[in-house]
Amino acid sequence: MRRGEAGPAVQFALEVLLRMAELTDATSFVPIASAHVDGCLYEGDAVVDFVDHLTALGAKVAVPTTLNAISVELSQWRAQGVPTRFGDQAVRIVDGYLAMGARPSFSCAPYAMGHTPAFGQHVAWGESNAIAYANSVLGARTDRYGDFLDILAAIAGRVPYQGLHQTERRRGELRFVLADDVDTSDEALYPLVGYAIGLLSGGRIPVVEGLPADARPDDLKALLAAAASSGAVALAHLVGLTPEAPDVITACQGEPPSSVTHLSAARLAEVRQALSTKTDGQVDAVALGSPHFSVGEFRELAHLVRGRRMASQVRLLITTSQFMRDRAQEEGLLDPIRAFGGEIIADTCVLLSPLLPQHVRTVMTNSGKYAHYIPSLLQKDVVFGSLAECVAAAESGHVRGGFL
């Protein structure tokens, strides 16, 4: 097969996959059930070169393949003031992947749209939050695939059998215990715990005890996205909540964890502070939806904003998938949010697309991932807070250090 009988694109993919197998000491390949491609972002012309190269080779995906959030909202980018060359290059990448047979899912939360591999199934997923969710919550098996390897795996239909594909490599190594003094009713608990374990895990697999038994999928999504931003967390065992962690011993595969860390209220307060670059003053924008907002989150937001009106100088951007925006629309959740002043953006997010104008200096968010990346990628100040605090800031146009 390597000699090219399957076509030049498969040959190209296999050559790279074989190099990755060598690097990771894998001795065999394993077939995959699906792929989620993160390499569809316009991060520069090198990505366009890569997609053009695959297109010229006649590449086609061999397994069901979803596409991550992309760099523009396809139907709206010109109206949103996205520069023409940026938009054109972003669309060219997307068209290339669609021509290879990928699905137009355009979301970093494919797992919320019914693209859910079964427990134990091998997949090749890219995008750090999607990887962590697939491994941790679904119990599917994917390694931390970087952009390019995701689509190459989709073309080849297989990956080197190594890393998190192997049972023994999924063993919990670091034990974290939520201390008694932590307020578990605080909805910001999940991104804060996630961010804390990401900082302390250094690429090893965390096991977290003490999270509320009624944590919702959206809570786990927030926790894992934050952990995959502050660290290289691709799998976290959440005791009593995720399928490979009915208890600590099972999550650690019978071996003792190499360390135990207590997450106290004081430590989480430190993390909360570290996630904000300022705590007082004017807020120019509120960004929600990293990972992409779910119907459950739209419900919560619609409930919070009903009958209220945000300050006219503030922008409220909620990023989601077309799929989820349609579901929210059917449920009548978007009207109250729009009446409040919110704008719903599909396909992309504020980190990928130039949606926030220059004059926006301070952005508030309830997402640990947005809070982590906004200062670096957008050179703006960020204030982290709960969803209710974000709504209050949108309404008043400012935050006070008091609630942080």
Partner 1 sequence: MRGRVAVGGAAGPAPVIFTTDPLSLWGGFDPHSGLVIDAHHPLLGVSLSGRIVVMPAGRGSSTSSAILLESVRARTAPAAFVFQRIDPVFAIGALVAEKLYGRTVPMVIVENEQDFSAFAAAAEASWDEGGDISVR
Measured from the CB atom, is 123 or 241 closer to partner 1?
123
| DSSP label of 107 | -
What number of chain residues touch partner 1 (CB under 8 A)? 46
Helix and strand totals (H; E) in the chain: 14, 16
The span of 20-28, 80-88, 329-337, 385-393 binding partner 1 (CB under 8 A) equals 20-28
CA dist 263 and 276 (Å) reads 19
- 163 binds partner 1, rule: CB under 8 A: yes
Question: Contacting partner 1 (CB under 8 A), which of 65, 89, 107, 128?
Answer: 128
- 13 binds partner 1, rule: CB under 8 A: no
Q: Are 203 and 231 in contact (CB under 8 A)?
A: yes
CA dist 181 and 368 (Å) reads 22
CA angle 41, 166, 228 (to 5 degrees): 40
Please report how many Cα atoms fall inside a 13 Å half-sphere around the Cα of residue 347, on the Cβ side: 18
Question: Contacting partner 1 (CB under 8 A), which of 184, 277, 279, 386?
Answer: 277
- 149 binds partner 1, rule: CB under 8 A: yes
Nearest CA-CA partner of 157 in 29, 328, 54, 339: 29
Residue 88 beta carbon to partner 1: minimum distance, rounded to whole angstroms: 17
Question: Contacting partner 1 (CB under 8 A), which of 33, 177, 274, 404?
Answer: 274
Subset of 166-225 contacting partner 1 (CB under 8 A): 202-203
Question: Contacting partner 1 (CB under 8 A), which of 20, 156, 178, 390?
Answer: 20
Burial of 382 (0-12, 13-18, 19+ CB in 10 A): buried
Site string for partner 1, 37-56 (x = CB under 8 A): -xx-x-xxxxx-xx--x---
Measured from the CB atom, is 48 or 311 closer to partner 1?
48
Nearest CA-CA partner of 362 in 387, 380, 384, 377: 380
Residue 379 beta carbon to partner 1: minimum distance, rounded to whole angstroms: 8
Question: Contacting partner 1 (CB under 8 A), which of 140, 351, 355, 399?
Answer: 351
Residue 203 beta carbon to partner 1: minimum distance, rounded to whole angstroms: 5
| DSSP label of 205 | P
Token duo for residue 53: 């190269």
CA dist 258 and 172 (Å) reads 9
CA dist 327 and 184 (Å) reads 30
**Chain Cα centroid distance, residue 93:** 20
- 115 binds partner 1, rule: CB under 8 A: no
Measured from the CB atom, is 71 or 366 closer to partner 1?
71
Site string for partner 1, 220-249 (x = CB under 8 A): --------xxxxx-----------------
Which region, left, alpha or beta, applies to residue 124 given φ > 0 means left and ψ of -120 to 50 means alpha?
A: beta
Burial of 185 (0-12, 13-18, 19+ CB in 10 A): exposed
Residue 131 beta carbon to partner 1: minimum distance, rounded to whole angstroms: 7
- 131 binds partner 1, rule: CB under 8 A: yes
- 7 binds partner 1, rule: CB under 8 A: no
Position of tokens 């935050």? Answer: 399
- 19 binds partner 1, rule: CB under 8 A: yes
Query: Where along the sequence are the contacts to partner 1 (CB under 8 A)?
Result: 12, 15-16, 19-20, 23-24, 38-39, 41, 43-47, 49-50, 53, 126-128, 131, 143-150, 163, 202-203, 228-232, 274, 277, 351, 372-373, 375-377
